[in-house]
Structure 1
Amino acid sequence: MHVFLCPQMFSNNDEAVINKKLPKELLLRIFSFLDVVTLCRCAQVSRSWNLLALDGSNWQRIDLFDFQRDIEGRVVENISKRCGGFLRKLSLRGCLGVGDSALSTCNSLSKFCPKLKHLDLASCTSITNLSLKALSEGCPLLEQLNISWCDQVTKDGIQALVRCCPGLKGLFLKGCTQLDDEALQHIGAHCPELVTLNLQTCSQITDQGLITICRGCHRLQSLCVSGCANITDAILNALGQNCPRLRILEVARCSQLTDVGFTSLARVSKQSHKHTITDGTLIQLSIHCPRLQVLSLSHCELITDDGIRQLGSGPCAHDRLEVIELDNCPLITDASLEHLKTCHSLDRIELYDCQQITRAGIKRLRTHLPNIKVHAYFAPVTPPPSVGGSRQRFCRCCILL
Structure 2
Amino acid sequence: MTILYFKAWRKNVAEAQKTRSYFLKMLSGAQDSGERSEDSEPDSQLLTLGGKISATENYRDRLAELPDTVQYKIFEYLTPIDLARAACVSQYWWSIVNEMNKYNTLDLSCFGKRLSDEILSKLTRNRRVYLRHINLHNTILPTINSIRCLTSCANLQDINLSKCTGVTDDVVRLITSGCSLLLYLNLSYTQITDHAVHHLATSKMLQYLSLAYCVRLTQLCSTFFNQLESFKSLVYLDLSGCIHIGSFGLQIIIKSVPQVEHWLLNDIFWISDDDLMVLASCSIIQTLEMVNNQHVTVLDSNCISKFHLYHEKSTPVAATVQIKNKESRPITCTALVSKRVDSSLNNLCPNNGDRITDSSIQLICGKNLKRFLVSNINSLDGSGLNNIIPNDNLPRLHSNSKTHRLSHRDSELTEHGSFYLREVSIVDCPKLTDILLQNLLPLQHLTILNLSGCESLTDQAVKLLTDGLYAEHLIELYMARCNKLTDKSIHAMSLRLINLAYLSLASCPLISDSAFELLSQLPKLWQVNLNATKLGDRGLSALGSLSKLRELKVAKCTGITDLGLQKFAHLGVKLEYIDLSFCHNLTNNGIKTLAFCCHFLVSIKLAGCSLLTDMAVQYISGVCHYLKFLDLSGCELITEASLSHLRKGCKKLEHLRLLYCRSISKRKLIRFTTGKISTIEHSTDEPPPEFYEENVLTFKQSLT
* TM interval, short-chain normalised: 0.7 to 0.9
Secondary structure of 1:338's partner? helix
Q: In 2 relative to 1, CA 256–143 (structure 1 residues): closer, same or farther, beyond 3 Å? A: farther
Report if the CA contact (8 A) 2:267-2:291 is conserved: no
Tell me if 1:127 matches 2:380. yes
5+ residue gaps, structure 1: 10-18, 381-401
Structure 1 residue 175 displacement after superposition: 1.6
**1:214-235 Cα distance to aligned partner (Å, 9 max, x none):** 5543444443333233444435
Conserved 8 A contact 1:120-1:145? yes
Q: Aligned to 2:503, what secondary structure does the other structure show?
A: strand
Residue 250 (1) aligns with residue 451 (2): no
Report what 2:336 is aligned to.
none
Cα distance between partner residues in 1 of 2:387 and 2:596: 49
**Who is 1:90 aligned against?**
288
Pairing 1:372–2:678 present? yes
Task: Note if contact 2:353-2:376 (Cα within 8 Å) is conserved in structure 1.
Answer: no
Q: Percent identity?
A: 21
Q: Does residue 217 of structure 1 match 2:217? A: no
2:194–2:221 Cα contact (<8 Å) kept: no
Question: For 1:171-190, what aligned pairs fall within 5 Å after superposition?
Answer: 171-190=449-468
* 8 Å Cα contact 2:204-2:232 kept in structure 1: no
- Deviation by residue 1:231-260 (Cα, 9 ceiling, x = unmatched): 444355444552442333334444344445
Shift of 1:188: 4.4
Measure the CA separation in 2 of the matches of 1:106 and 1:375.
Answer: 44
Match of 2:279 among 70, 76, 79: 79
Instruction: State the TM-score, normalizing by the size of structure 2.
Output: 0.44
How far the C-alpha of 1:109 sits from its partner, in A, is: 1.4
Superposed CA deviations along residues 14-35 of structure 1, whole A, max 9, x for unmatched, are xxxxx9xx7xxx4242895678
Match 1:61 to one of 249, 262, 285: 262
Contact 2:206 2:233 in 1 (8 A): no
Q: 2: distance between equivalents of 1:150 and 1:261?
A: 36
Q: 1:66 offset after TM fit, Å?
A: 4.7
> RMSD of the TM alignment (CA)?
3.6
Deviations 1:118-177 (A, max 9, x none): 22211122111312434465323222222111011123323432x233433332222211
Q: How does 1:275-286 map to 2 (within 5 A)?
A: 275-276=579-580, 277=583, 278=586, 279-286=588-595
Structure 2 gaps of 5+ residues are 1-170, 174-192, 235-255, 293-349, 391-416, 528-549, 687-704
Paired residue for 2:359? 104
Query: What letter matches 2:651 in structure 1?
Result: H
* TM-score between the two structures when normalised by the length of structure 1: 0.73
Three-state SS of the structure 2 residue aligned to 1:345 is: coil
Aligned match of 1:399: none
Question: Equivalent residues in 2 for 1:1-400 (5 A)?
Answer: 2=172, 26-29=203-206, 32=209, 41-42=223-224, 44-46=226-228, 48-49=229-230, 54=256, 59-69=260-270, 71-82=271-282, 84-85=283-284, 87-94=285-292, 97=352, 99-111=354-366, 113-114=367-368, 116-135=369-388, 138-161=417-440, 163-190=441-468, 191-234=471-514, 237-242=517-522, 243-246=524-527, 247-269=550-572, 270-276=574-580, 277=583, 278=586, 279-314=588-623, 317-319=624-626, 321-341=627-647, 342-366=649-673, 370-379=676-685
When the two structures are aligned, how many residues end up with a matched partner?
A: 353
User: 1:38, 1:214 → 2: CA distance?
Assistant: 54
Q: Take 2:377 and 2:556, find their aligned partners in 1: how far apart are those partners?
A: 26
Contact conserved, 2:362 with 2:386, CA < 8 A, in 1? no
Query: Distance between the aligned counterparts of 2:387 and 2:564, measured in 1?
Result: 40
Amino acid at match of 1:110: C
- Alpha carbons 1:301, 1:331 under 8 Å: kept: yes
Q: CA deviation at 1:79?
A: 1.8
CA distance in 1 between counterparts of 2:430 and 2:290 reads 16
Q: Which residue of 1 aligns with 2:393?
A: none
